[in-house]
Amino acid sequence: MSDDPVIEFTGFIKACRLFRENRLPEAEVVCTNLLRKNPLDQATWALKLQCLSDSTYVDELENEDMGLAETFLDQNVIAPSARPGTSFQRPKTTAKGINPILRPSTNAGRPLSGVVRPQSAFKSGSMDQAVRTARTAKTARAVSSTSARNMRLGTASMAAGADGEFVNLARIKLPKYAADPQVNRQLFEYVFYFVNDIKVAHEIAGIASKAAEFEDYYWKNQLAKCYLRLGMLQDATKQLQSSLQQRKLIETFALLAKTYNRVDQPMAALRTYAEGLDAFSEDVTMLTGMARVQEALGEYELSINFYKRVLDAQSNNIEAIACVATTYYYGGKPEIALRYYRRILQMGVSSPELFMNIGLCCLAAQQFDFALSSIIRAQATMTEDVAADVWYNIGQVMVDVGDLPSAARAYRLALTHDPDHSESLVNLGILRHREGRTDEARSLFGSAISKNPLMFEGNYNLALVCAAQGKYHECRRLIERALEAFPDHDHCKRMLNSLKPLYEAI
What is the binding site for other proteins (CB under 8 A)?
4, 6-9, 11-13, 16-17, 19-23, 42-43, 46-47, 50, 54, 57, 59, 181-183, 185, 216-218, 221, 247-251, 280, 282-285, 313-316, 318, 343, 345-350, 373, 376-377, 380-381, 405-406, 409, 412-413, 416, 419, 440
The nearest distance, CB 335 to other proteins, in angstroms, is 20
Residues 6+ away with beta carbon under 8 Å from 140: 65, 116, 118, 120, 121
The nearest distance, CB 98 to other proteins, in angstroms, is 30
The nearest distance, CB 364 to other proteins, in angstroms, is 21
The nearest distance, CB 283 to other proteins, in angstroms, is 7
> What does residue 168 show for φ and ψ, rounded to 5 degrees?
-85, 100
| Alpha carbon distance 67, 65 (integer Å) | 7
* Residue 8 or 504 having the CB closest to other proteins: 8
* Residue 282 or 301 having the CB closest to other proteins: 282
Instruction: Say if residues 458 and 428 touch (Cβ distance below 8 Å).
Output: no
> What does residue 84 show for φ and ψ, rounded to 5 degrees?
-60, 140
For 57-123, the DSSP string reads ---TTT-----HHHHHS----S-SSPPTTSSSSS---STTS--TTTS-B-TTSPBP-SS--TT----
* Residue 219 or 328 having the CB closest to other proteins: 219
The DSSP 8-state label assigned to residue 3 in this structure reads: T
Helix axes 24-37, 42-55, angle to 10 degrees: 150
| Alpha carbon distance 414, 391 (integer Å) | 5
The nearest distance, CB 264 to other proteins, in angstroms, is 26
* Residue 247 or 477 having the CB closest to other proteins: 247
* Residue 187 or 337 having the CB closest to other proteins: 187
The nearest distance, CB 192 to other proteins, in angstroms, is 12
* Residue 377 or 471 having the CB closest to other proteins: 377
The nearest distance, CB 349 to other proteins, in angstroms, is 6
Calculate the alpha carbon distances from 279 to 97, 239, 309, 378, 492 in Å: 31, 19, 16, 44, 48
| Alpha carbon distance 225, 405 (integer Å) | 54
| Alpha carbon distance 207, 179 (integer Å) | 6
The DSSP 8-state label assigned to residue 55 in this structure reads: H
> What does residue 62 show for φ and ψ, rounded to 5 degrees?
-85, -20
Helix axes 472-485, 490-505, angle to 10 degrees: 150
* Residue 232 or 345 having the CB closest to other proteins: 345
Instruction: Say if residues 364 and 384 touch (Cβ distance below 8 Å).
Output: no
The nearest distance, CB 19 to other proteins, in angstroms, is 8
The nearest distance, CB 307 to other proteins, in angstroms, is 15
* Residue 229 or 343 having the CB closest to other proteins: 343
* Residue 189 or 423 having the CB closest to other proteins: 189
Calculate the alpha carbon distances from 362 to 243, 374, 377, 400 in Å: 50, 9, 14, 13
Rg (CA), the chain: 27
Calculate the alpha carbon distances from 315 to 112, 250, 312, 319, 353 in Å: 23, 20, 6, 11, 21
The nearest distance, CB 300 to other proteins, in angstroms, is 24
* Residue 25 or 405 having the CB closest to other proteins: 405
* Residue 9 or 503 having the CB closest to other proteins: 9
Calculate the alpha carbon distances from 459 to 395, 465, 466, 490, 502 in Å: 21, 10, 10, 15, 20
* Residue 264 or 418 having the CB closest to other proteins: 418
Sign of torsion over alpha carbons 166, 170, 175, 178: positive
The nearest distance, CB 502 to other proteins, in angstroms, is 33
The nearest distance, CB 62 to other proteins, in angstroms, is 10
* Residue 45 or 456 having the CB closest to other proteins: 45
Paired residues of 105 in beta bridges: 111
The nearest distance, CB 90 to other proteins, in angstroms, is 32
| Alpha carbon distance 125, 108 (integer Å) | 9
Paired residues of 111 in beta bridges: 105
Measured at the CA of 437, the angle between CA 433 and CA 443, to 5 degrees, comes to: 80
